[in-house]
Amino acid sequence: MLLQHMVQAYGDIRSGRSQRDTGWDFDLTCSVLQRFFKKRDVGEESRNPEGQTILYLETEKSIVCHLAHLSDWGFPFYVLDLRRAVKRILDKERWYISFFKDNCPRKEWA
């Protein structure tokens, strides 16, 4: 029942009604509505359960794609190779990550 109210309230607010008025009609607080809309607008699938990432999502996907391609060929790829590749990417883009010593990820990161 509450979920139906939330979906109806979501539709009302998207159509231009204020959160305060919608909250009064459905007996919901503004903070509850805001949390619900944040989950709806951002989407749960876009959140990373492990926290923030160092690289952009596209860069991470590219690295994973290249690693999969190398493994299809049977090319040995070690953790040190991954760490050096990330260091090279960061240096090329002129990013300095203070979390990494000398801009090189630690073993735990990889």
pLDDT in tens, 61-95: 888 898 889 888 888 888 898 889 889 988 988 88
Number of domains the chain contains? 2
Six token digits for residue 58: 């596209």
Does 36 share its domain with 75?
Answer: no
Does 21 share its domain with 75?
Answer: no
Does 54 share its domain with 94?
Answer: yes
Per-residue pLDDT of 41-66, as tens digits, reads 655 555 555 666 778 888 888 888 98
Per-residue pLDDT of 5-36, as tens digits, reads 788 888 888 888 888 888 888 888 888 888 87
How many Å apart are CA 83 and CA 70, to the nearest integer? 16
Does 12 share its domain with 63?
Answer: no
Does 33 share its domain with 59?
Answer: no
Does 99 share its domain with 56?
Answer: yes
Q: DSSP string spanning 63-81?
A: HHHHHHHHHHHT----HHH
pLDDT computed for residue 106 by the predictor = 86
Does 15 share its domain with 55?
Answer: no
37: containing domain: 2-46
